[in-house]
Amino acid sequence: MAALQIGGSTLHSWSGVGRGQQSLHNLIERIRHSEQAVRRWQETDTLIIDEISMIDADLFDKLEQIAVAIRGDTRPFGGMQVILAGDFYQLAPIQQLDPHDRTRRLEVKFAFEANTWGSVIKQEDIYILPKVYRQQNPHFVDLLERLRRGKLDSDDELLLRERDVIVADTRGMGEPLGLYCTNEEVRSVNQARLAELPGRPMTFTAEDEAGVNSSGASISIQQATVILDGSTLWPRELTVKVGARVMLLMNVQENWLVNGSIGTVIGFKTITQAHHEDLAVALRIRQLPIPQNMNFPVVEFDAPRNSPRTSNDIALIPYMAIELLNAEGTVEAKRRQVPLILSYASSVHKSQGQSHNLLKVDLSRSFAAGQAYVAISRVTQLEGLELRNFALNKVFVHPDVEKWMSTLERMPRHYMFSSDEASSSDRDDAPQEEDGEDSDPIDEAPETALPVPHSLNRRGIVHSLFMDKEDERADVGDDEISGSEASGAETFGTDEEWEKAASRRLDE
C-alpha cells in the first residue's frame, strides 16, 4: 500500500526475483531474460528500500550479488547507492519454507546478519530518526517507545488494559479496522461481516494445477493445493456480495491497480457486458483466456490518498493465475482464481506501514516478536484504540534485534531532525526512535523536509521500493520477468507460518 500511495514499487516486483528462493545463479539468469528488469537494475543510481526489517539476510545477499552481476560492477551493490529505512523492533522476516524440503522451515535471519551488510552499510552511515509523526500526544509516544523495546511498566499495562472498550465513531471516520494476529481469525471475521450483507452471494472456486518439485519429481494435486494454501493468500474459494469490501492480490497494470488495492464490490458483469459498457477490465500482460459470458466482480477501488476519484477506479476483476516456482525455477504449483479476498479485518503483519484514527486490535493469538507493538502503534491516538486480550507476556523483542540494537546504540549516534519542535521522545533522557517508519511521510509528512547527508544530493534515477505489508505478503514481479501469467509467487506465506517457532519462544 505504501508503494501504491507514492507511485513506488515492491522490491520483489522491481528486482524481478519473485519469491527470491531460487539459487543465485537461477535468479540472475531469470533477470537477464527480462529486458525491463535488466534496464531497471542498470539505470538505477539510488535504491530506497523501506521496511528493511522484513528483508531476510539471504535475500539481502542475493540482491547485492545480483546488482554486481547485472551492473558489471564489483563495488557493493554494483556501485548503486542504497538507502534503507525501517525498524528492526517491528516484524521479522517471515520464516520461509525450505524450497528443497517443504516439511521444514528455514531459520530466520535479519538483514543486518547478511554477509554483505557490512560492506553495504557502514556504522557511520546509520542515522536515527527520533521524531514521531504518526502520534502527536507525547505521553502516548513515550508509551509506544517502551512497548517497542519490550519495557512496559505497571502503569503502562494498566493504561492499555483500560482500552478494552468499544470505540465508537463519533467523527465520521468509519468503523474501526480489526487487526488480528493470524489469518484464521481474519477469515472468520471477514466471513461474519459478509454474512451480514443482504443480497445473493457469488462464489468462485479455484482451479489448481500440480507441477514438479526441485528434484524434478511430479507432485500430486493435493500437495499442490497445500503448497498454494500455505504460500499465497489466493483463496481456494472466494465468496462475495454487492457491498463487500475486498482487497486485490495481484499487480494488474503499472501505475493502476496493485497488490493491496482495496475497494467495494458494486456488481457483477460479464466480459462482454463490460466491453459494451466501456467498463475497464483488469488484465495482465499475459492473460489467461477468460469466459466471455461468466459473471465476475466489478470493484470500485478506493482512490489513493489526496487523489481525485476517476472512472479508472472501477474495474471488472476476472480470473487470473499465480504460479509458485521451485528452487530450480520450474513451476511447482499453479492456481487460477479471481485475485480478491475480503478486507473487513486484516492481519497485523499486513498492517505494517499503515495509520488509523480508529482501530480494533485483538492480541489473543499473538505469537511473534514485535507483533503487539506493530499492531498498537498503527493507531494515531490512544482514545481511538480498542484493545482486546492484552497481556504483558505478549510484548517481547527478538533477542537478535535486542543485541544488535544495543551494540548500535553504544556507537556514536547520528541524528536527523526536522526543523519543527522535537517530540518528548527527543529528550536526552528518553529512548530514541531508530525507525523512519513512525515518521512515515505517506501518513503525515513533516512540514519541512529532514536534512539529508550530502551524498544523497546526487543526480540519477531513484526507485522507492517497499516491503509493505498490505503487500505485504510481498508482490513479486512482472509477467515478462517470470514468463508466466502470474509471474512467480505473490506472497511470502501466511501469518501462521510464524506460529510454531514463535510460540516456542513464548513458552521459553
Residue range 6-18, pLDDT digits in tens: 555 678 878 888 7
Please report the pLDDT score of residue 9 as a whole number.
66
- CA gap 142, 92 in Å, rounded: 23
Q: Could you tell me which residues come within 8 angstroms of residue 437 by beta carbon, excluding any fewer than 6 positions away?
A: 50, 51, 85, 86, 87, 90, 352, 353
Question: Residue 500 domain-assigned?
Answer: no
**500: pLDDT strictly greater than 60:** no
Q: In the structure, what pLDDT confidence band is assigned to residue 175 with cuts at 50, 70 and 90? A: low
Question: Residue 111 domain-assigned?
Answer: yes
| Mean pLDDT calculated for residue range 235-248 | 94
Cα-based torsion angle of the residue sequence 88, 108, 492, 388 in order, rounded to the nearest 10 degrees: -60
Predicted structure pTM score: 0.68
Mean pLDDT score of the chain: 77
* pLDDT higher at 420 or 229: 229
Please report the pLDDT score of residue 288 as a whole number.
66
Residue pair 337/297 in contact (Cβ under 8 Å)? The answer is: no
Question: Residue 127 domain-assigned?
Answer: yes
Grid cell listed for 124: 557511520
Please report the pLDDT score of residue 477 as a whole number.
35
Please report the pLDDT score of residue 488 as a whole number.
30
**474: pLDDT strictly greater than 90:** no
Please report the pLDDT score of residue 10 as a whole number.
73
Question: Residue 85 domain-assigned?
Answer: yes
| Mean pLDDT calculated for residue range 379-398 | 95
Please report the pLDDT score of residue 256 as a whole number.
64
Q: Where are the alpha helices (DSSP H) in 210-327?
A: 221-231, 271-276
Tens digits of per-residue pLDDT, 479-494? 322 322 232 322 323 3
Q: In the structure, what pLDDT confidence band is assigned to residue 286 with cuts at 50, 70 and 90? A: low
Q: Could you tell me which residues come within 8 angstroms of residue 454 by beta carbon, excluding any fewer than 6 positions away?
A: none
- CA gap 232, 489 in Å, rounded: 7
Q: In the structure, what pLDDT confidence band is assigned to residue 429 with cuts at 50, 70 and 90? A: very low
**356: pLDDT strictly greater than 80:** yes
**461: pLDDT strictly greater than 60:** no
Please report the pLDDT score of residue 13 as a whole number.
73
Q: In the structure, what pLDDT confidence band is assigned to residue 43 with cuts at 50, 70 and 90? A: very high
List the domain range (segments joined by +) for residue 87.
2-137+399-482
Q: In the chain, how many domains are there?
A: 1
Single-letter code of the amino acid located at 90: Q
- CA gap 362, 158 in Å, rounded: 17
Question: Residue 388 domain-assigned?
Answer: no
| Mean pLDDT calculated for residue range 124-150 | 92
* pLDDT higher at 279 or 101: 279
**Region of residue 82 (left: phi > 0; alpha: psi -120 to 50; beta: else):** beta
Kindly report the number of other CB atoms within 10 A of residue 128's CB atom.
16
Question: Residue 424 domain-assigned?
Answer: yes
**110: pLDDT strictly greater than 90:** yes
Please report the pLDDT score of residue 508 as a whole number.
39
Q: In the structure, what pLDDT confidence band is assigned to residue 232 with cuts at 50, 70 and 90? A: confident
Question: Residue 206 domain-assigned?
Answer: no
CA angle 346, 350, 351 (to 5 degrees): 80
Please report the pLDDT score of residue 218 as a whole number.
94
* pLDDT higher at 461 or 155: 155
Please report the pLDDT score of residue 283 as a whole number.
76
Question: Residue 93 domain-assigned?
Answer: yes
Range name among 201-210, 232-241, 439-448 with the lowest pLDDT average: 439-448
Cα atoms in the 13 Å half-sphere on the side-chain side of 398: 23
